[in-house]
Amino acid sequence: MDTIFYTLQDFMIHSKSITYILIGGILIGLMLFWLFLTGRDEKKRTF
Amino acid sequence: MGISRRQFLGFLGAAAGTTAVSVKKSEAAANKEFKGYPGSFGVLHDTTRCIGCRKCEQACNKVNELPLPKIPFDDLSVLNTKRRTQQDAYTVVNRFVENNEGQPVFVKSQCNHCLEPACASACFVKALRKVKTGAVIYDASLCVGCRYCMIACPFNIPAYEYNNPLTPRIMKCTMCHPRIEKGLIPGCVESCPKEALTFGPREKLLKTARQRIEKYPDKYIDYIYGESEMGGTSWLYLSGRPFKEIGMREDLGIQPAATFTSGPLATVPVIVGLWPVLLTGIYAISKRKEKISEEERIEAVSRSVAVAGEVMKAKLAALKDTMTKEKEAAINLEVRRALEEAAKKSESEQQAESAKDEPSDTSKEDK
Amino acid sequence: MSQETARVNESIFTPFNVISGIIIIAGLIVTVLRFTKGLGAVTNLDNNNPWGIWIGFDLLCGVALAAGGFVTSAACYIFGLKRYHSAVRPAILTAFLGYALVVLALHYDVGRPWRLPYPIFISQGTTSLLFEVALCVFLYLSVLFIEYSPAALEWLGLKKIRSMIVKLTLVLTIFGVILSTLHQSSLGALFMIAPSKLHPLWYSNYLMVYFFVSSIFAGLSMVIFEGTLAHRYFHHKMDETHLKESKDVAFGFGKAASFVMMGYVGIKLIGISIDNNWHYLTTGWGVWYLFELIGFVALPAFIYAIAVREKNLRLVQSASLISIIGVVLNRFNISLVAFNWQLPSAERYFPSWSEIVISLFVVTLGIVVYRFIVTRMPIFYEHPDYQHDN
Ligand code: SF4
Ligand code: SF4
Ligand code: SF4
């Protein structure tokens, strides 16, 4: 993980790529967490 | 102070063998200041030496195997009009004359091989890359042909094969990257009869340029174009005339293009993190409101139905009192409506009273 | 269903069919030229002006005007404004068609259209805002397709899949809002990489916010405007709920658009102030800028306000049209007019007729498909089999 970045461009490619993967994970994670959070709520028609 | 070919080969060997070694880690990693590839090459273009012979254009055309132009390279009349780089000309020389008097100035333009290239930052498939030789190179096997790199380049350099229907490429100077890798110097530099072009490590070129300015302060403007433009470029320029007058923009600033877009880029992940929370929150609130009003409606309706036959007014007052003040107004309406309904009903069909659970008009369908 | 009966006796040569037929034929001819002779043969693009109206209109305006989908579904499902429910389906349909056509138009513009999935699957240029746009448009098109699909599934009578998808409504809506926020704003941010080319009055660090906010009122206005047209031509397709709610939708959306637009005028002024660009306002560019901002944002916002106060449906509808023109004008200004403003006029871009033909072709295609769908599928009415379970 000790990559040396010589240019801002390389650094950004690296960090943004990781971030994009991360935000995909966060989206799914948040959704699952919401289901967990409301799992015991009484069932109600939502829409 | 030009750099000879032998010297250059020495540099190349050193650079190629030791790219990683030559950097102390503390310099390059762990902080967010990026200095570019160490020992990367550049070209210094001394416009005071350029005679506008177009030999570089010719050489470039040859080494890159571009189609020969209709007007031959020794025809200098093309200098009469200002030109830009094209899909079949990676480099062009322009002449700038100061209101008809004084020496004309010739300026060669080509890709400046920015240290932090706007074009590479803009490319959404990484078809453009800054590599360790200093060149910004293009990979046609990835390019989609969106031309965003052309929008992004502050120097208006990349050209596009508009007449190629299915496999158009972006065309621009490669800094002769393939030649550099073979140990050769760029074709244009090699062919220049006046040493107006000097190839070498960028650091070294900067020193050379400074020395020239110092040695001939009258001949040069005290400025090295490309040292910091848009974060610095590998191609550097010296001039005896203000750069603005020789067709080069002085208002580009020193920020790399990537910094202009880093703000929006950073906003993206935060929105993805926050929006679900915010939107779900809003949803939950609107849902809850709906639930409360639904419950109250049902409650109010059933009560009013129960009292419908009897002394309505007295009970209504009691009912009102049981409700909290905040909700009063909203419920009032419902109650009144329900009451009226019930009243109407009780008048018309007095015998059939509390059989029905809900007056029909309040059971508004909910979707 | 007997939708077809209404049109059986009509002749094929209705004015609509003739005009759209001509445009489609012309479009097909230009299509052949584009893919045999190249962009150079059909467009006025050059190396200084790499983006023309296929980006400025088809992409930027197309996406902005298709914002009605996310705005309406968010209003109904997230903000709980159930009284706009009948507006959701038409809005989602328009959005879906809009995005599909944006992608279609891009096939003309980019050099190697079959590589359009490259940024997503082959080589991710994550530093580019265009990457962000590509990713979001791709995802959002999929979301819109799923959101729209119940209508098609009801038409086809596939109940099982339909009810599964309807259960996803909320998640899809939230997802749609996120994706829309991102790419609507990123489209504006595309131009942030070139401060040296875009006129300072239009260039701003707030470009993202401007594009996002203007997409909201573009979407709202588009829903109103589209409703106007739909009423004129597809009145017989609408059920009672739709007819009853549509006035409500027009006034509600008009009110919302009006306020959003005034807020937009506010943040535009803030943008000028923060960059201290006031002095540009006295130049020719400034006049043009004010023309856009006052004539096509502040004015329609005001008209909306009057119309909503006086409950004047016609006025709401005209305001929506002006607002739509305003958004188109804004996108044109940023991508074409104020872009490369420093170039001498001889080097500036003006679209060729064949570029315009393709843009018209794409729009016409949209209208034809729209017509095909609304005359067959339950868009303006609720399918009798499903009336009570959504
Ligand atoms: S001059 Fe233009 S094309 Fe060349 S590296 Fe810089 S941004 Fe890219
Ligand atoms: S035209 Fe090609 S090189 Fe340029 S940004 Fe688009 S994909 Fe990248
Ligand atoms: S470096 Fe090579 S490609 Fe670039 S202008 Fe010179 S000869 Fe042409």
Say how far apart CA B33 and CA B49 lie, in whole Å: 35
- φ/ψ of residue B114, rounded to 5: -55, 145
Share of chain B above pLDDT 70, in %: 75
* Cβ contact B25–A31 (<8 Å): no
Q: What is the mean pLDDT of chain C?
A: 89
pLDDT for the residue numbered B349: 56
The pLDDT assigned to C363 comes to 93
Task: Give the whole-number percent of chain B exceeding pLDDT 90.
Answer: 55
Query: Helices B325-348 and B312-322 sit at what angle, rounded to 10 degrees?
Result: 160
Buried residues in C236-251 as b, exposed as e (16+ CB within 10 A): ebbeebbeebbeebbb
Distance (angstroms) between ligand 3 centre and the Cα of B90 equals 7
State the pLDDT at residue B363. 40
Residue C164's pLDDT is 86
Identify the sign of the CA torsion C243, C244, C246, C247. Answer: positive
Nearest to C126 among A16, A27, A46 (CB): A16
**Chain-centroid distance, C-alpha C43:** 23
Report C:82-141 residues touching B (Cβ under 8 A): 82, 85, 109-112, 115-116, 118-119, 122-125, 127-132, 134
Q: Any bridge partners for residue C67, and if so which?
A: none
Determine the Cα–Cα distance for residues C348 and C342; give it in Å rounded to an integer: 9
pLDDT of residue B37: 87
Considering only CA atoms, which residue is closest to atom 2 of ligand 3? B176
**Closest atom of ligand 1 to CA, residue B158:** 3
- At C355, give phi and psi (nearest 5°): -65, -40
Partners of B96 in the β-ladder: B105
C150 or B136, which is more confident: B136
Which of B26-35, B269-278, C373-382 shows the lowest per-residue confidence on average (mean pLDDT)?
B26-35
pLDDT score for C168: 85
φ and ψ at residue B109, rounded to 5 degrees: -125, 150
Separation between Cα atoms, residue C26 and residue C11, nearest integer Å: 22
Which residue reads 């209003």 in tokens? C75
ipTM value: 0.90
**Cα B154 to averaged position of ligand 1 atoms, centre (Å):** 7
Per-residue model confidence (pLDDT) at position B319: 62
Is B93 within 8 Å of B82 (Cβ atoms)?
no
Per the model's pLDDT, the better-predicted residue between B295 and C320 turns out to be: C320
Distance CA C298, CA C262 (A): 6
- Shortest Cα–Cα distance, A17 to chain C (Å): 6
The number of beta carbons lying within 10 Å of the beta carbon of residue B158 is 27
Encoding tokens for residue A37?
Answer: 């959070």
* Sequence-ordered list of residues with C-beta below 8 angstroms from that of C388, at least 6 positions apart, any chain: B365
Best mutation target among A16, A31, A47 (most C Cβ atoms within 10 Å) is: A47
What is the atom index within ligand 3 of the atom nearest the CA of B64? 3
Residues C182-193, buried b or exposed e (16+ Cβ, 10 A)? bbbbbbbbbbbb
Task: Give the pLDDT confidence score for residue A5 in this predicted structure.
Answer: 87
Tell me what the mean pLDDT of segment B64-68 comes to. 93
* CA–CA gap between residue C229 and residue C370 (Å, rounded): 12
Comparing C385 with C119, which gets the higher pLDDT?
A: C119
Residue from B231, B235, B251, B253 nearest B243 by CA: B251
Contacts of A2 in chain B (CB under 8 A): 29
Structure letter (DSSP) for residue B161: -
**Residue A27 phi, psi dihedral angles, 5° rounding:** -60, -50
* pLDDT, tens digit (0-9, with 9 covering 90-100), for C364-383: 999 999 988 888 888 888 87
Separation of B159 CA from ligand 2 center, angstroms?
Answer: 11
Which residues of B are less than 8 Å from A36 in CB distance? none
Chain-wide mean pLDDT for chain B? 81
Residue B107 belongs to what H/E stretch? strand B105-109
Nearest CA owner, ligand 2 atom 5:
B123
Cα torsion for A26, A27, A29, A34, to the nearest 10°?
130
How far apart are the CA of C339 and the centre of ligand 3, in A? Answer: 29
Structure tokens at C374: 């609304």
pLDDT value of residue B2? 43
Residue of C154, C152, C150 lying closest to C167 (CA atoms): C150
Which residues does B186 contact at the CB level (< 8 Å), separation at least 6? B43, B63, B175, B176, B179, B180, B197, B199
In the prediction, which pLDDT does C4 show? 44
d(Cα C53, Cα C360) in Å, to the nearest integer?
11
In the predicted model, is pLDDT for residue C98 greater than 80?
yes
pLDDT at C254 over 70: yes
Which tens digit of pLDDT belongs to each residue from B281-332?
998 888 888 888 888 888 887 876 766 655 566 666 666 666 555 456 666 6
Residue type, B315: K
Residue A2 and residue B29: Cβ atoms within 8 Å? yes
Least confident of B340-344, C20-24, C50-54, C103-107: B340-344
* Ligand 1 neighbour B197 (Cβ under 6 A): no
Q: Is the pLDDT of residue B19 over 60?
A: no
Task: Tell me which DSSP letter residue B93 carries.
Answer: E
> Phi and psi dihedrals of B142, rounded to 5?
-105, -25
Residue type, B100: N
Check residues C145 and B325 and name the one with the higher pLDDT: C145
Q: What is the mean pLDDT of residues C98-106?
A: 94
State pTM to two decimals: 0.84
What is each CA distance from B170 to B29, B330, C263, in whole angstroms? 33, 66, 41
Q: What is the pLDDT of residues C297-313, one digit of tens each?
A: 999 999 999 999 999 99
Residue B358 pLDDT grade (very low, low, confident, very high; cuts 50, 70, 90): very low
Q: pLDDT tens, C36-86?
A: 999 999 999 999 999 999 999 999 999 999 999 999 999 998 888 888 888
Residue with tokens 């659970």: B357
> What gap in Å lies between CA C321 and CA C302, rounded to an integer?
13
The pLDDT of residue B290 is: 82
Query: What per-residue confidence (pLDDT) applies to B36?
Result: 84
The domain B32-261 is placed in CATH, from the list 3.30.200.20, 3.50.50.60, 3.30.70.20, 1.10.3720.10, at 3.30.70.20
The whole-number pLDDT of residue B32 equals 67
Q: Indicate the angle between helix axes C129-156 and C159-167, nearest 10 degrees.
A: 140
Which residues lie below 8 Å from residue B211, measured CB to CB, with a gap of 6+? B1
Mean pLDDT computed over B19-32 = 42
Summarised one tens digit per residue, pLDDT across range C162-180 is: 888 888 888 889 999 999 9
CA atoms within 13 A on the CB side of B209: 31
> What pLDDT is stored for residue B184 in this prediction?
93
B238: β partners: B46
Distance separating alpha carbons of residues C370 and C368, to the nearest angstrom: 5
CB pairs B-C closer than 8 Å: 189
Residue nearest to atom 8 of ligand 3 (CA): B60
Share of chain C above pLDDT 90, in %: 70
3-state helix, strand, coil in chain A (%, to 5): 65, 0, 35
CA distance to B21, C70, C160, C162, C248, per residue, from C386 (Å)? 71, 23, 12, 10, 23
Instruction: Say how far apart CA A34 and CA A28 lie, in whole Å.
Output: 10
Mean pLDDT calculated for residue range B234-242: 93
CB B77 within 8 A of CB B129: no
- Other Cβ atoms less than 10 A from the Cβ of B351: the count is 6
Which ranges in B39-147 belong to alpha helices (H)? 55-63, 118-122
Per-residue pLDDT band for C2 (boundaries 50, 70, 90) equals very low
Q: What is the pLDDT of residues C198-243, one digit of tens each?
A: 999 999 999 999 999 999 999 999 999 988 888 888 888 888 778 8
